[in-house]
Structure 1
Amino acid sequence: MFGVLSIQHLFAMFGATILVPILVGISPAVALISSGFGTLAFLLITKGQVPAYLGSSFAFIIPLQTAIASDGPGAAMVGAFLSGLVYGIVALLIKATGHKWLVRVLPPVVVGPVIIVIGLSLAGTAVGMAMNDASGNYSLLHFSVALVTLAIVIIATIFFKGFFNLIPVLIGIIGGYLYALAVGLVDLTGVKEADLIEMPDFIIPFVSYTPSFSWDIVLLMVPVAVVTLSEHIGHQMVLSKVVHKDLIKKPGLHRSIMGDGVATMIAALLGGPPNTTYGENIGVLAITRVFSVFVIGGAAVVAILFGFIGKINALISSIPTPVMGGVSILLFGIIASSGLRMLVDSKVNLGINRNLIISSVILVIGIGGAIVRFTENFEIHGMALAAIVGVLLNLILPGGEVPENVDIYEANLEDDNSVA
């Protein structure tokens, strides 16, 4: 019984977790393994009291792409590790002073627009994957694969019920893959040649690369923690309602944030993308009403095993780009919409000049791709710059208050089909 429930959690996180590494150019197998080890570490740090699964974070896609393109995967992993370290520092501060100050620094008027920036900044990537062939030229055949995939995801999201409503991304990838196979866009040579057991392409410090500190990487990667920290708070509040326990107080927000940070550091040491708690798996908990951490731990173990199965990894690698492009069109749009939803649900009044200024500046700086370049190798990029400016404006402009009800970050779970 536990095995079946664990597989459900694996399916719920699978589609989104493998999409992130595919987009940034690292191994999906390593992402599965690092998510498994990260989840196990999270369960230990939270004393087995928080049944949460951690998978690849969408918030880090653009910073990872930029870091890998400019300085290589090693530099990206250093940046990811430092982001996880920030989590640890915040956890220690919360342990010492409480968490009210974090809500003051990261209110919805800052976090909502930054989340919108994340989604819209990726829009061009999604459309390019959907309609271009391997040479970068427009292809109606490729675009048809993306549209079929997108249609399947939409149908699964709207019309499927129960558990199947929680895995529309995976259903869409499978359906799109079968259509791509039918029209001749799938190459199964790699699957046939792959061994049953294979060593994934780990990116390990002092083995694959020599770690080096760079302020450019720090300013590119670390500010993303502004978004993921608030996302973490929201997930913990939703999860608290699902399991009928106040997880913010026990085991404490400091423990769950520390667990999230350690999971991200583990991923960075292995060569995987930063981890974050997954709303999809919280949805599985809400439906099954089984809150056992052993079920979550079982899913983590299976994910680790999957990462070493060569046939599975080759099958993932054979997924055509337009299939992932079709999925991405919806996912990235949902990310942007979830930022807008945060503003609406939190009743952020854009009729107030303070709120209008903060959100407007964040959106234009982030989506416009503004860069502050101090030296040739020292600059702050669009999304990171937008997050920093948003936090500063919120702290400097008069009229900011600590929200009385920190449920401002909470989403309506029954309607939530967003991704991490």
Structure 2
Amino acid sequence: MIKKDYVDVHEIPALQKVVPLSLQHLFAMFGSTVLVPLLTGLDVSVALLTSGIGTLLFLLITKGKLPNYLGSSFAFIGPILTVSHSHGVGTAMLGCFMAGLVYLIVAAIVKWTGVHWLNRLLPPVVIASIIVVIGLSVSGVAVGWALNDPLSDPAKPAYSLGAVEVAFVTLAATVVATIFFRGFLSVLPVLTGMIVGYAYAAVRHPEWIDFAKIKETPWFISPGMWVNEHFITGQVLDAFASPGALLAALVIAPVAFVTLAEHIGHLLVTANIMNRDLMRDPGLHRSLAGDGVAVIVASFLGGPPSTTYGENMGVLALTKVYSRVVIAGAACFAILFAFIGKIGAFLMTIPKPVLGGVTIVLFGIIAAQGMRMYVEHNIDFSHKRNMVISAIVLVTGIGGFKMDFHEVTFSTFIANLTIDNIAMATFLGIFLHAVLPGKEVAFGKTKEEQLHKQAS
């Protein structure tokens, strides 16, 4: 009997293993999840709370078969800033609420029509290219964190050899843990890397870590006080009652069509990591519905809209631990840490170079999953069609090609909308596959076809 080398979604590791495995996922998503509220002026504690609640709801709606963590979405930053500036944060959150409703509508359509049409639109050559883009398009973020002084102005980052040093130590610790550790420690490479990197940074660059902030922050914030100080539900309800605010909020709703492409890409990445058809079971309609409900809840409470996170997919690929209990544990820790002030303050002190060292591995592993798909489906790049499609998807996606409608004046609904590079690359891949002749080569060869060719 062949022993499997992964922990499946329904399996429950021992409690002493669940805690560090869950913390590993929490640390992986933390930097990006808190960055969005910091950029948009939303509350960091609410972002942590709603990411945890959204993840639990997502697991429930997908029947526990999709071990994804949901964190803050970067796609909504521009629209939230624009609408908040002109109509208030309550109106912006109402717009995000509407984007969540768009998710639910599309989920209902997918449930009714099935996913056969998606399989025709997204052959392996397109899917693999999109997966590579999802990993490498954010590589600049990881490298930027690894290269620049964390105390420098984010608008004008300054190169720091000390940052490179800390990032290298973190990266080295993560690689050593991945390759050489055995037993349970072998599935904690990210946590190991971050602990080593943080300790090294604390010794070599203590000025990066504001220990005074941790000391000043109270241990526990009572739920009643927390709700009164952090939630903006009343402002969202006020905006809902105002016809002018409703119209202004509609500007954000089309962003959902951009993040839908990202959602499908992330689902394909997870399916490739787990080697199963998640489009059918639990189904794209369930994952869309889960993401939509999470966006709605986050928006209503005043947190940034959520999305499945590439960092956590990298952890799944690296550890091969897919247990939904581990993801649920990370969600519960996020909720708990939203109320425990000192822990939240401690997590905020993790230096960016430490995060950079870890995410270099995590984002790269996602890209490697796409390359693996090229190989497994035996995509033949001697065909010009495959070369052209993959080339255009890769360069536009990784290069940051996007469409920005901020200067549009003839339409309220697309003004301030940005179609980001991942969505653009996905749309271009689908379009090229639809219009170019010779569609059969885009699907590669099945294992049976490869064996038949070798036998003959």
TM range (shorter): 0.7 to 0.9
| 1:385 paired residue number | 424
Higher mean displacement: 398-407 or 266-275: 398-407
| 1:411 paired residue number | none
What is the CA–CA distance in structure 1 between the aligned matches of 2:406 and 2:318, rounded to whole Å?
Answer: 48
Larger Rg: 2
Higher mean displacement: 324-333 or 183-192: 324-333
Are residues 1:276 and 2:276 paired?
Answer: no
| 2:121 paired residue number | 105
| 1:50 paired residue number | 64
Are residues 1:169 and 2:190 paired?
Answer: yes
* CA apart distance, 1:124: 2.8
Q: 1:233 to 1:266 in 2, by over 3 A?
A: farther
Q: 1:276 to 1:354 in 2, by over 3 A?
A: same
Match of 1:148 among 169, 176, 198: 169
What is the CA–CA distance in structure 2 between the aligned matches of 1:131 and 1:398, rounded to whole Å?
Answer: 45
| 2:56 paired residue number | 40
What is the CA–CA distance in structure 2 between the aligned matches of 1:363 and 1:284, rounded to whole Å?
Answer: 23
| 1:226 paired residue number | 261
User: Which structure 2 residue ranges, 5 or more long, are not aligned?
Assistant: 1-12, 240-244, 409-414, 448-456
Q: 1:91 to 1:163 in 2, by over 3 A?
A: farther
| 1:160 paired residue number | 181
Are residues 1:119 and 2:165 paired?
Answer: no
- Normalised TM-score (structure 1): 0.77
Q: 1:72 to 1:248 in 2, by over 3 A?
A: same
CA deviation map 1:304-339 (0-9, x unaligned): 112211111000111112211222322232333333
Any idea what SS the aligned residue of 2:235 has?
coil
* CA apart distance, 1:18: 0.7
Tell me if structure 2 keeps the 8 A contact 1:223–1:387: no
Are residues 1:376 and 2:407 paired?
Answer: yes
CA deviation map 1:153-192 (0-9, x unaligned): 1111222234433332222111111011111232211110
User: Which structure 1 residue ranges, 5 or more long, are not aligned?
Assistant: 408-420
Q: 1:337 to 1:72 in 2, by over 3 A?
A: farther
Any idea what SS the aligned residue of 2:354 has?
helix
Equivalent residue runs for 1:60-209 within 5 Å: 60-61=73-74, 63-64=75-76, 84-133=100-149, 134-135=151-152, 136-183=157-204, 184=206, 185-198=208-221, 199=226, 204=232, 207=235
How many corresponding residue pairs? Answer: 395
| 1:311 paired residue number | 342
What is the CA–CA distance in structure 2 between the aligned matches of 1:309 and 1:302, rounded to whole Å?
Answer: 10
What is the CA–CA distance in structure 2 between the aligned matches of 1:390 and 1:334, rounded to whole Å?
Answer: 22
Tell me if structure 1 keeps the 8 A contact 2:338–2:344: yes
Any idea what SS the aligned residue of 2:69 has?
strand
Are residues 1:255 and 2:289 paired?
Answer: no
CA deviation map 1:70-115 (0-9, x unaligned): 6669598677656644543343233223222222223332233233
Any idea what SS the aligned residue of 1:347 has?
coil
Q: 1:163 to 1:334 in 2, by over 3 A?
A: same
| Identity rate, percent | 39
What is the CA–CA distance in structure 1 between the aligned matches of 2:105 and 2:401, rounded to whole Å?
Answer: 28
- Normalised TM-score (structure 2): 0.71
